A and B are shown apart, each in its own frame.
Chain A
Amino acid sequence: MELSFPKKNKIPEKRQSVPEQKWAKVKRQLPYQLMVWPGMIFLLIFSYIPIAGLVIAFQDYSLSTSYFNNPWVGLKHFQAFLKDSTFWMAFRNTIELSLLRMFFIFPMPIFLALAINEIPSLKLKKVVQTCSYFPHFMAFVVVAALWKDILSTNGLINNLLLEVGLIRTPVKFWTDPNKFKALATIVDLWKGAGWSAIIYFAAITGINSELYEAARIDGAGRFAQMRHITFPGILNTIIIMFILSIGGLVSGNLNISVLLGNSFTKSQSYIIEYYTLDMGLGTMRYSFATAIGMFQSVISVILVMLANFFSNKYKQVGLF
């Protein structure tokens, strides 16, 4: 052991240029470090301090103190919200809306991409794509206002149905709790389906066109090509997107809940995020609300990791 020490010390003496080389290396990368540090400081402040702030979930936090000077209360707040029936109502709504998103909204962009890809006219294809992306760029507030009025009791759809004679009295779309989830899902679909298809268009563009040539020579029709080339070609993307959506199972869309929901439909539209805001910013129960948020994000992370683990195991595609 002792013998090895002097040897190590000798190395820099022998090659005198090493410190200079090191200095040159430091100097060479200094501009890049200076470029990256502001971003890292930003993340430390705006992302990591709130993560550290999660400790207040285990405390009785009051505004006048800092994060760490509060009485520790263990899992009190977690036990409290798990006993609250409003939490479970919000939890059930969140999960149900997510399941609708995963099994009803999720396949639509895939279907859309496959269909639009088959349009024979390039011009029509471009027009459809351009138009279908647009609602994504509209504010949810605007989309909600538009659909709330179109589906209101004296709005476009009701008037049309009355004129055609399909109904005698206007349908109460937005004040009927039983219709809320279906309607919210449709509005969400209208806003996002076109844009979500863009990733599948990208995947289709990446498919080797020789595969289609070969298939045609083998006598494959358009449906066969779609089934055996296009669909398998985008399957990896589909699986990755599905994995990503699993992580969102316990996250709701606050836009839907706040902008489309109202006091009539609360039993169906109230979600965990809304509950967190009401508890935290509404009634100032900061520690209680932080506990709810933490519960939610921990479940999300576990879900993402599980989904990725299984997909790695069986399909050889992973996120990390």
Chain B
Amino acid sequence: MKRGHRAIRLTSEDKIVNGLAILIALFVLIVTVYPIYYCVIYAFSDGTAAMARQIYFFPVQVTLSNFKAVIEDSLLVNSFMISVARTVLAVITGVSFTAFTAYGLTRKELAGRKIYSMIAMFTMYFGGGVIPTYLLYLKLGLINSFAVYILPSLLSVYNMLLCMAFFRDIPESLVESAKLDGAGEFKILVRIIVPLSTPILATIGLFVGVGAWNDWYTAAYFVNDQKLMPMSTILMRLVSAADAAQKAMEAATTSGANVNRSGPTSTSIQYATLLVSIFPVMCVYPFVQKYFVKGVMVGAIKA
């Protein structure tokens, strides 16, 4: 937002406000970025060396051994694959199903629009809770199956409302003229609506994808099979297992037993695992970022 106060001479109040704002900005930047940076330098450091001397800004004895340990752990590699598979599938199915329903609901020709919307809205305020949901999954055979990652997240009412807010802004004349040209409903949806809706589809795709990638809960409570565990659930178990007492013991044994004073520790391997699990999100983030700011804002203003 340009308010043109740079054209006019800055008053002392302007200077104070600018200075304060920049200070706060730098504080936010450091507090947000440093822990992630710390994760990166620790993951590339030799575990034993990093434990012997606290690192702050640079890695010590730069090594890939932590990542090697991650790759050699077949459980972790398998969980990474499961995470990738469930995320990709959830995004494709979730976005198309949600957009499909949302488009139908925004059409004025649709009889019973109000009732359909009320059916959907009600579920945002009231639900059956975890136990009836668990029992339903049990009856549907979803417990301990890969489908439990995909089916229940096909439709999110919140994402649907975001989509609907966006679709309503698409000029009706575009749809009308396509109809005059003899295009069917599905052709209109695929050829006209979808290309115009990239920002919102990318936004809900990001939400669904990040939700699926980060979800530890579903597998922790609804899945027993080790082969179906996603990375986040494996990580969650790693973290809960390594509680304070255990870590203290490990610190004592590594410093005593390791004569050559190098090699990965469970902490450095954990940091490498964390980094591996953030990495895909980091890769997608810059590309989707420009869309979601727009997409979320549309939803926020409408809501």
The count of residues in chain A whose C-beta lies closer than 8 Å to any C-beta of chain B is 107
Interface string of A88-101 (1 = CB under 8 A from B): 00000000000000
Query: Are B129's CB and A290's CB within 8 A?
Result: yes
B94 to chain A, nearest CB (A): 11
- Residues of B99-144 at the interface with A, using a CB-CB cut-off of 8 Å, are 100-101, 103-105, 107, 109-111, 116, 119-120, 123, 125-136, 138
Q: Considering residues B129, B133, B289, which has the most beta carbons from chain A within 10 angstroms of its beta carbon?
A: B129
Query: Are B221's CB and A36's CB within 8 A?
Result: no
Query: Are A112's CB and B131's CB within 8 A?
Result: no
A262 to chain B, nearest CB (A): 5
B55 to chain A, nearest CB (A): 8
**CA of A252 to CA of B281, assembled, Å:** 26
Query: Are A142's CB and B235's CB within 8 A?
Result: yes
- Residues of B134-161 at the interface with A, using a CB-CB cut-off of 8 Å, are 134-136, 138, 151-152, 154-155, 157, 160
**CA of A298 to CA of B265, assembled, Å:** 48
Determine whether B236 belongs to the interface, using a CB cutoff of 8 Å to chain A: yes
**CA of A231 to CA of B35, assembled, Å:** 32
A7-15, A149-157, A177-185: which lies at the interface: A149-157
Query: Are A141's CB and B239's CB within 8 A?
Result: yes
A116 CB contacts on chain B under 8 angstroms: 21, 24-25, 28
B6-14, B63-71, B194-202, B256-264: which lies at the interface: B6-14
Known: A36-B104, A139-B216. A56 touches B38 (CB 8 A): no
Interchain CB contact (< 8 A) of B13 among A149, A205, A223, A258: A223
- Residues of A24-64 at the interface with B, using a CB-CB cut-off of 8 Å, are 25, 28-29, 31-36, 38-40, 42-43, 45-54, 56, 63
Using CB atoms and an 8 Å cutoff, list the residues of chain B in contact with chain A.
1, 3, 5-6, 11, 13-14, 17-18, 20-22, 24-25, 28-29, 31-33, 35-36, 38-39, 51, 54, 56, 97-98, 100-101, 103-105, 107, 109-111, 116, 119-120, 123, 125-136, 138, 151-152, 154-155, 157, 160, 184-186, 206, 210, 213-214, 216-217, 221, 232, 235-236, 238-240, 243-244, 247-248, 251, 267, 270-271, 274, 277-278, 281, 285, 289, 293, 296-297, 300-301
